Structure 1
Amino acid sequence: MKRLILLMPLITSGCANYAFNTNLDKENFDDYFKPGSVQIYDQDQLTDLNHLYLGTVEGESCQADANQPIPNAGEARTQARRKVADMGGNGVIFDKCAEFSDTPGCLKQVICYAQALKVAPQP
């Protein structure tokens, strides 16, 4: 009897003409996962890797008004990794992160500077 009660919603929903709509956009979905395709390296790790330097990038975390959360380096690093992926890179070396106060548009701001890399796959 308990099994029948548990299976009833599944049985009845299988007969319903139910459509699933979402506000997810494929571009937003792809953009969300871009940072995961970029690996963080240390400078000494590159000696054993075949890599190409693509340029410099920076990521920013900004607190525009007092009601917003304080900026953090993790968000700034994620933004920088997203920019590396946009450049076609798959690796990054972070140089430093700096915190600023009272910059135009931000009460507080964290900016992380990095080097974008294209690292060849290892055999």
Structure 2
Amino acid sequence: MANTRKVISLLTVTGIVAGCSGLEFRTNIGPYTESRLVSAAVEIYSPTEISRYDAVTLGNVEATACQERPDEPVASRAELVRQMKMRAHRLGGNGLVIEACGKTTLGVCQTYIECHGTAYSVPQRQTRP
């Protein structure tokens, strides 16, 4: 009787393991980690700071967020800056000058946030004091 229980237990465990062999485990840790690493690779500069480098202008970047309903989370300036850093990185940049960020109401948005900036490729060393 004890051997029969062991065999049944072994067959049950084997069946469970075999049945789960096709399972996939997916998370968003890849995109989350990538966005954090990319945004960390792009540094924020003031207009005065960027003028000390022979930086190459790559283009304008912007980010916007609309809170349509009061129960939705309000987008933060930090989140918009992170999005702009990712866009600057996609342009080949490692620097960003934020020119303007502001909140307003717009159409269906309870709160509308908009940020504008310029992406730069910034050399490692300053060329001007």
Alpha carbons of 1:73 and 1:103: their partners in 2 closer, same or farther (altered >3 Å)?
farther
Of 59, 66, 71, which aligns to 1:62? 66
Structure 1 letter corresponding to 2:43 = Q
Match of 2:105 in 1: 101
Match of 2:119 in 1: 116
Separation of aligned partners in 1, 2:99 and 2:106? 23
User: How many Å apart are 1:85 and its aligned residue?
Assistant: 1.0
Contact 1:59 1:78 in 2 (8 A): no
TM-score normalised per structure 1: 0.71
User: How many Å apart are 1:22 and its aligned residue?
Assistant: 5.0
Identity among equivalent positions (%) equals 21
Contact 1:61 1:73 in 2 (8 A): no
Of 68, 71, 82, which aligns to 2:86? 82
User: How many Å apart are 1:33 and its aligned residue?
Assistant: 2.4
Which one has the largest radius of gyration? 2
Structure 2 letter corresponding to 1:49 = Y
Separation of aligned partners in 2, 1:85 and 1:54? 10
Please identify runs of 4+ aligned residues in structure 1 that moved more than 4 A.
Answer: none
Gapped regions of structure 1 (runs ≥ 5): 1-20
Alpha carbons of 1:67 and 1:82: their partners in 2 closer, same or farther (altered >3 Å)?
same
User: How many Å apart are 1:62 and its aligned residue?
Assistant: 2.4
Separation of aligned partners in 1, 2:74 and 2:28? 27
Separation of aligned partners in 2, 1:29 and 1:46? 28
Structure 2 letter corresponding to 1:122 = R
Alignment partner of 1:34 is 2:45:
no
Separation of aligned partners in 2, 1:84 and 1:31? 12
Structure 2 letter corresponding to 1:35 = S
Gapped regions of structure 2 (runs ≥ 5): 1-24
